[in-house]
Amino acid sequence: MQFGIFTVGDVTADPTTGRTPTEHERIMATIEIAKKAEEVGLDAIATGEHHNPPFAAPANPAVLLAHLAAITERIILTTSTTLITTNDPVRLAEDYAYLQHLAGGRIDLMMGRGNTGPVYPWFGKDIRDGIPLAIENYALLHRLWREDGIDWEGRYRSPLQAFTSTPRPLDGVPPFVWHGSIRSPEVAEQAAYYGDGFFSNHIFWPASHTRQMVALYRRRFEHYGHGSAEQAIVGLGGQVFMRPNSQDAIREFRPYFDKAPVYGHGPSMEEFMAQTPLLVGSPQQVIEATLGYRDYVGDYQRQLWLLDHAGLPLKTVLEQLDILGEQVVPVLRTEFAARKPASVPDAPTHAALVAAAGGGGRDATVYAAADAGADVVTEASPDPSRTPEKDLR
Amino acid sequence: MTTRIAVITAGITEPSSTRLLADRLAEATVAVLGGRRAVSVEVVDVRRLAHEVTNTVLTGFASPALQERLDTIAAADAVIVSTPIYSASYSGLFKMLVDVLPRDALRDKPVLLGATGGTARHSLAIDHALRPLFAHLGALVVPVAVFAASEDWGSTDAGRLSERIERAGAALARLVTGAPAPALVDPFEDVTPFEALLADVAGVSGVSGVAGVA
């Protein structure tokens, strides 16, 4: 099981001081948070993608992640999310493959559609095409990482003839992909079709909704022959604020909750905690609540928490990471491992994908299936629904 | 199988004439339907849900208590709505409830419209505000709607309110059962007995001057 954090890079005033950080401060804080996440032993850090204030998340997450790849050694770098709708899938294939090389394979990514309406027209798209864009663009991206010299034609970008995106994926193995969605069954269906991971945002919505989405993904994952429903790759979001004494946590977090752009001026913090996975309390309460998630989504592979938002100062966020790393995650690792049957796989890492593909050494100037040996020269273009290991043999 | 009628009422005061209209419309519908089948009536009083409806607009999801009420509406076989008319349209609170209804909750569903207001000069709000809203929602809106101005509760100048309610309830019942419209009455063949004409003039209630109520 992987544990990590995800950030949306919001630049929000601290309600207790009234001070808003500058964009530069926010960006540098994100770097500190990522370094700390690795230091306290977390497994993954995910960054959002934004194109509008008040966010200082990168417009192209690969820029931030390339920097993080250079200053960290172990933590998996990922996204929450990469916009599959308004980005050109060719650029996504190129940028993330390049990032994969820089990071030594220590990356994966999460596709999302984006919920800021004007971003679509700003990039020449129509929000009403959100689902078809996600379907077409990802189908192309999936091929670009697996085939050389592709001929392609679709509704939303110029056609490609004999196009090979470069660089080719590291070791000939594309990055693992998660698909994130709050409420679109089509996205759960898409993740299931490809045998990719499905990430449920989980926060802001009742658990009953998350249960329904994950159940759909698992059922369809099995339907498409990628394994049993229990073996599907599930990630969950979560949001916590912790102090040793739960009343202290509630007192300290309340002004941030009350003014938070996504929370404020609606239901009370207590109502939100009762109806959604928001947890403000002691580390022990966080451990118990997190273990409870598997009651409604089953054994899952990745837990990401949102910590750095609503104007919480950097110092507080770093303290939260200390608590996670020292008191919460070690217990959760042991407890989740004790509960998980051996038949349920871990989240795929680059090393695991390379091993599944029959080992490394497939990196090439421009990799083609034909490079692997004369015996497969006659093989036709791989079927995009096939698994990477099959494509590479 | 029980026919489920959901009643959405958006009156603010207690007691409320909007609620009174809603109840009367429900009674009139049940009076026609009830003879043929089991009928249940569930009232959704928006005033009591005001805070939760507001929260839902802000958060995107309904509390368990509100969700139960929304599910009641979505599962109903017919819906009766009753809203006060404010500033020439349905009340804001009423519209907020409509905004948080599950998608397609009213599609192809028989809906009877009722509204209340201080004066009959606002009666067309049903046609210029409510009908377009429910057309957008894909509801099967009953052609007969009832607007009850304050004066209607104590006057028969605009026709007896009770008769308009009876006609509207009967029309909703026909939509629910799929019953055909009643045959037209030929006034030269089926003449209204003079006792009835006399009773109407005398204001004696209980004599139907309306032909064709099923």
What CA–CA distances, in Å, run from A155 to A15, A94, A326? 46, 21, 50
Chain B nearest C-alpha distance from A33 (Å): 28
What is the 3-class SS of A147-185, one letter each residue? CCCEEECCCCCCCEEEECCCCCCHHHCCCEEEEEECCCH
- All residues of chain A having their beta carbon less than 8 Å from the beta carbon of residue B58 are 265-267
Residue B79 has pLDDT above 90, yes or no: yes
Q: Could you give the CA distance from residue B100 to residue B73 in angstroms, rounded to a whole number? A: 11
Chain A nearest C-alpha distance from B178 (Å): 35
Residue A378 has pLDDT above 90, yes or no: no
| pLDDT value for A389 | 45
Q: What is the pLDDT of residues A311-345, one digit of tens each?
A: 999 999 999 999 999 999 999 999 999 999 999 99
- All residues of chain A having their beta carbon less than 8 Å from the beta carbon of residue B54 are 266
Residue among B54, B55, B61 whose CB faces A206 most closely: B61
pLDDT band at B158 (very low <50, low <70, confident <90, very high): low
Closest-approach residue (CA) in chain B for A209: B61
When pLDDT is averaged across residues A78-83 and rounded to a whole number, the result is 97
pLDDT > 90 in chain B, percent:
76
Residue bearing the bigger pLDDT, A9 or B155: A9
pLDDT band at A371 (very low <50, low <70, confident <90, very high): low
- A132 in Cβ contact with A155 (< 8 Å): yes
**Cα torsion for A33, A39, A45, A51, to the nearest 10°?**
20
* Contact: B63, A209; criterion CB under 8 Å: no
Mean per-residue pLDDT of chain A: 91
| pLDDT value for B196 | 84
Chain B nearest C-alpha distance from A268 (Å): 9
Residue A157 has pLDDT above 60, yes or no: yes
The range of the structural domain enclosing residue A319 comes to 2-391
Residue among B55, B58, B61 whose CB faces A209 most closely: B61
- All residues of chain B having their beta carbon less than 8 Å from the beta carbon of residue A203 are none
Least confident segment among A11-15, A179-183, B46-50: A179-183
- A136 in Cβ contact with A190 (< 8 Å): no
- All residues of chain B having their beta carbon less than 8 Å from the beta carbon of residue A266 are 54-55, 58-59
Q: What is the pLDDT of residues A165-186, one digit of tens each?
A: 999 999 999 999 999 988 899 9
- A301 in Cβ contact with A295 (< 8 Å): no
Closest-approach residue (CA) in chain B for A274: B63
pLDDT band at B207 (very low <50, low <70, confident <90, very high): very low
pTM of the model: 0.83
Query: In a mutagenesis test of the A interface, which of B51, B59, B100, B103 is the best target, namely the one with the most A β-carbons within 10 Å?
Result: B59
pLDDT band at A5 (very low <50, low <70, confident <90, very high): very high
Domain annotation for chain B: domains and CATH numbers: 2-177 (3.40.50.360)
Does the structure's ipTM exceed the value 0.95? no
Residue B201 has pLDDT above 80, yes or no: no
| pLDDT value for A364 | 55
Chain B nearest C-alpha distance from A209 (Å): 9
Q: Per the structure, how many domains does chain A have? A: 1
Task: Output the domain CATH number for residue A342.
Answer: 3.20.20.30
| pLDDT value for A65 | 98
pLDDT band at A16 (very low <50, low <70, confident <90, very high): very high
Residue A376 has pLDDT above 90, yes or no: no
pLDDT > 70 in chain B, percent:
94
* Contact: B63, A271; criterion CB under 8 Å: yes
